[in-house]
Amino acid sequence: MEPLRVAHEDVYRLLQKFLDAKRLHYIFGNHDHDYRHPQRVPKRPPSVLTPLTDEPDLVFTDFETQEALVLEHAESGVELFVVHGHQGDDLFHRFIWLNQVLLRLIWRPLQLLGFRDPSSVAQKIYKRQEVEEELIEWSNDQQQPMLCGHTHKERFPKDSRPFYFNDGSCVHPRWITCIEIVEGQIALVRWRIKPNKKGQLVVKRNVQKGPKPLSNFSRSTLAP
């Protein structure tokens, strides 16, 4: 964990602030599927050490994970089902243990040589489409607005169904996309590193789609 701690110390510090404020909700997915077993969730993940004293500066305690969440808007009563999204990949979900072995022993070394993992939804367009079709079908059948990730393709619904949101991806070198909900308004947002007029690199926030009131995506609107 040492290289990860050094490379992403700022991320650990931000996560700790959310945890201290009781605002950190960790949803496990295909990369940490073992967290579905509470006894396997580390109660004290690796600490970030101070550079001067090399003593633990922050420690994650009472760390819990969930398979999914339901966010309910207090004013409109709209419920948004939040899930990682790998459950929509039925074959992968059922044989995730086998995929983990293949990824570690076979596909990871081949990826370093330039080959693409055929099971990855991030690298295969048709695979993303298949998974999204499963998720959208479930959302429509259950008449349930849904927010998920996993496919690395941002999605924001129009006023008509399906009410399927996807937060996109954070694997690109200069930008990430996300779904933001602020004061009852939901939007698809891109945060991007770009130069300003002085040639300095800054982080810019750009709204890609929305914002729209959450009340636009109630079950009564979704129902046929």
| Residue pair 89/29 in contact by the 8 Å Cβ criterion | no
**What does the H/E/C string look like for the chain?**
CHHHHHHCHHHHHHHHHHHHCCCCCEECCHHHHHHHCHHHCCCCCCCEECCCCCCEEECCCCCCEECEEEEECCCCCCEEEEECCHHHCHHHHHCHHHHHHHHHHHHHHHHHCCCCCCCCCCCCHHHHHHHHHHHHHHHHHHCCCEEECCCCCCECCCCCCCCEEECCCCCCCCEEEEEEEECCEEEEEEEEEEECCCCCEEEEEEEEEEEEEHHHHCHHHHCC
The reported pLDDT for the residue numbered 119 is: 52
As a whole number of angstroms, the distance between CA 185 and CA 147 comes to 14
Q: Is 52 or 118 the better-scoring residue by pLDDT?
A: 52
Average pLDDT over residues 176-188: 95
What pairing do the DSSP bridges indicate for beta strands 48-49 and 56-58? antiparallel
The reported pLDDT for the residue numbered 177 is: 96
Statement: residue 221 has pLDDT above 80: no
| Best mean pLDDT range from 41-45, 158-162, 193-197 | 193-197
Statement: residue 43 has pLDDT above 90: no
Statement: residue 136 has pLDDT above 80: yes
Instruction: Give the confidence band of 85 by pLDDT, cuts at 50, 70, 90.
Output: confident
Side-chain half-sphere of 132: how many Cα atoms within 13 Å?
A: 23
Instruction: Give the confidence band of 191 by pLDDT, cuts at 50, 70, 90.
Output: very high
Q: Is 119 or 12 the better-scoring residue by pLDDT?
A: 12
The reported pLDDT for the residue numbered 40 is: 75
Instruction: Give the confidence band of 2 by pLDDT, cuts at 50, 70, 90.
Output: low
| 185 DSSP β-pair partners | 182, 213
| Best mean pLDDT range from 77-91, 103-117, 174-188 | 174-188
What pairing do the DSSP bridges indicate for beta strands 65-66 and 26-27? parallel
Ranges of each domain in the chain? 1-66, 69-87+125-224
Which burial class, exposed, middle or buried, applies to 99 when counting CB atoms under 10 A from its CB (0-12, 13-18, 19+)?
buried
Average pLDDT over residues 50-73: 79
Q: What angle do CA 68, 27, 60 make, to 5 degrees?
A: 135
One-letter amino acid for residue 211 of the chain: P
